Amino acid sequence: MEKREISFAYHSRSGKSSCIPVEEFPFTAQKLLAYGPEVKVVSPRELQECVRELLEKTISQYS
């Protein structure tokens, strides 16, 4: 089976952009969650899933 590489690019207010490899998605998801509802991941789906999983784990601690 062929391994698919995934990354995403973001643009900061300073105009700089960067690519983040899929291996860094869990760390990136944690950092993005620090912004609360001010941030929404629209793609890629793999990063959305990382964010969702972290949110579900957090919510489960209060259930």
Structure tokens at 18: 């960067």
Instruction: Tell me the pLDDT tens digit for each residue of 5-19.
Output: 555 656 667 766 677
| Residue listed under structure tokens 């793999």 | 46
| Residue listed under structure tokens 């579900």 | 56
pLDDT interval class at 53 (50, 70, 90): very high
Q: Provide the CA 38 distance to its chain's centre, in angstroms.
A: 13
pTM of the model as a whole: 0.73
